Amino acid sequence: MRLDKLLANSGFGSRTEVKQLLKTGAVMVNDIRVKEAKYQVKEESDRVEVNGETVQYAEFTYLMMNKPPGVVSATEDNWDETVIDLLDARDRAKKPFPVGRLDKDTEGLLLISNDGVLAHNLLSPKKHVDKTYVAKVDGVVTEDDIAIFKEGVTISDNYTCKPAVLEVIQAEDGTSEAQITIQEGKFHQVKRMFEAVDKQVTYLKRLQMGPLKLDPTLALGEYRMLTEAELQTLMAAGK
């Protein structure tokens, strides 16, 4: 790989900025100062340093975000802030994208990666990767609702959802808090499922996607890299 590409992908600026950086003599490859942008490096074995700091090159990035409400699950948007805007420049440099979508007003677990194969596998309808949400709804969730969701609720556009597990966490004053696990990821699916039983979702948060659980220590808007163990179980779920 070209040295300027490796440095740009590692968050050291645009290709033009990286070329300037190289000209200053800040970059060493295996202890030799290199100023040439097109210098070829072996990213697996060569040691690249910028101002004495070793560059940890990894082609793929896997981030878990606690998505806040009010930002959109997209790479760019003309009006709204996106989840990618919340990333540090170094993370953005890897050109990651949200793996699946949460609505603008939905919070919680969002995987952000530049691994198209993993994304494809996790999102493929054939894989049935479970997603678990906590939802607050207007109305009291009944045993009938639980049974209908288990059977497969028919939502707008006449689509019958795959069986879903609905559990009531608490119900008071005509509202309910429930946990729901679905196998698909249709547009506004959870909201449309509750609408089908005459209930309005007023708050929605994703807790889990396949084996990946939202880290409870992440505040809204915060994110972190997946651990190696999380990544391995996620890869296995997408296989």
The answer to whether 113 and 97 have CB atoms below 8 angstroms apart is: yes
The one segment of 4-12, 40-48, 102-110, 171-179 that binds ligand URA by CB under 6 A? 102-110
How many whole angstroms from its chain centre is CA 63?
6
The H or E element that residue 123 is part of is helix 116-123
- Least distance (Å) from ligand URA to the CB of residue 229? 26
Of 12-20, 100-108, 218-226, 228-236: span binding ligand URA (CB under 6 A): 100-108
Nearer to ligand URA, 35 or 188 (CB): 188
**Sole binder of ligand URA in the list 10, 106, 132, 176 (CB under 6 A):** 106
CA distances from 185 to 50, 124, 157, 199 (A): 43, 9, 15, 19
136 is an interface residue for ligand URA by CB under 6 A: no
H or E element, residue 227: none
Taking the complex as a whole, the smallest distance from the CB of residue 136 to ligand URA amounts, in Å, to: 13
Catalytic residue selected from 77, 103, 130, 215: 103
Cα–Cα distance, 166 to 155 (Å, whole number): 16
Residue 191 found at the interface with ligand URA (CB under 6 A)? yes
Sign of the torsion angle spanned by Cα atoms 41, 44, 49, 55: positive
Specify whether the CB–CB gap between 51 and 87 falls below 8 A. Answer: no
User: Could you say whether residue 155 binds ligand URA (CB under 6 A)?
Assistant: no
- Least distance from ligand URA to the Cβ atom of residue 133, Å: 6
Distance in Å, CB of 205 to ligand URA, minimum? 9
Closest CA to 10 of 23, 25, 27, 24: 27
67 is a site residue for ligand URA (CB under 6 A): no
Tell me if residue 103 is catalytic.
yes
Residues that bind ligand URA (CB under 6 A): 102-103, 106, 188-191, 204
Catalytic site residues? 103
